[in-house]
Structure 1
C-alpha cells in the first residue's frame, strides 16, 4: 500500500457540509497533514491570505461566496497554490468551468479515497 506522508503540509478544506468535511478529514488523517477548514468562499479567501497553505480542496457550491469566485479571488494574490475543485455537479462543461476559474484539478462527489489521495499527491 502506498504511504502518503504529508506531515509538513497544510491543506485548506473548503466545505460547508460538516459530514463531507469529516469524511475528508478521515481520509487525510493517516497522511498527518495539518487540516484547516473554511465553511464558505469568503472564509477560504481570508484563510488563504493569512496562512501558508500547500493545497486547497475547494467545494464549488458554497454559501456566501461560491467556489468559483473564491478561486478567482485567491488567484489574484496566489497564482501558484494548487486548488482542486470538488463538486457533486457532473454536468458537461463543469470541469472546464472550474479550470477557467483557476482550479488545477477536479474531483467529483461522491469522493473515493484512492482518487482523493492520488490527486492530492500530484501536487504535494
Structure 2
C-alpha cells in the first residue's frame, strides 16, 4: 500500500445502505479516506466544497438528482476529477451514455473488490 493513500479522499455518492457499507469497508481497508453523499445534490455540493477530493464513485440511480445529472453539474465547474459511475443496469449503450455525461469510467454492480481497487488505482 502506498504511503500517500491516506491522503486520498474518495467521495462515495450512494443511497443503498448495503452498498455504502461494502464499498466503504473495501476503500478504508485499502487506506483511502471515504466521504459519503446520500444523493446527487449532496455529491455536487461536496465536490464544490472539497477541492482536495481525488475521485468520485457515483451511483447512477439516486434520489433527488440522478448520478448522471450530478455528474453533468459537477463537470460545469470541475472537468478534471475522475468520476466513476456505478450501476446495476449496465446495458448495451450505457457505457457511451455515461461517458457522454462526463463520467470517466464505470463499474457494474455487484462490484468486485479487485475490480474496484484496480479501477480506482488506474485514475489516481
Q: Same fold (TM over 0.5)?
A: yes
Q: Distance in 2 between matches of 1:24 and 1:43?
A: 18
Aligned alpha-carbon RMSD (Å): 1.0
User: Scaled by the length of structure 1, what TM-score is found?
Assistant: 0.95
Structure 1: gaps of 5 or more residues: none
Greater percentage in helix: 2
Q: What whole-Å deviation, never above 9, does each CA across 1:77-117 have from its counterpart, x for those lacking one?
A: 00000000000002111111110110001100000000000
Q: Distance in 1 between matches of 2:16 and 2:90?
A: 18
What SS does the corresponding residue of 1:85 show, helix, strand or coil? strand
Structure 2: gaps of 5 or more residues: none
Corresponding residue of 2:92: 92
Q: State whether residues 11 and 34 of structure 2, in contact with CA within 8 Å, keep that contact through their aligned partners in structure 1.
A: yes
**Alignment length, in residue pairs?**
122
Structure 2 counterparts to residues 69-80 of structure 1, below 5 A: 69-80=69-80
User: Scaled by the length of structure 2, what TM-score is found?
Assistant: 0.95
Q: Distance in 1 between matches of 2:2 and 2:28?
A: 10
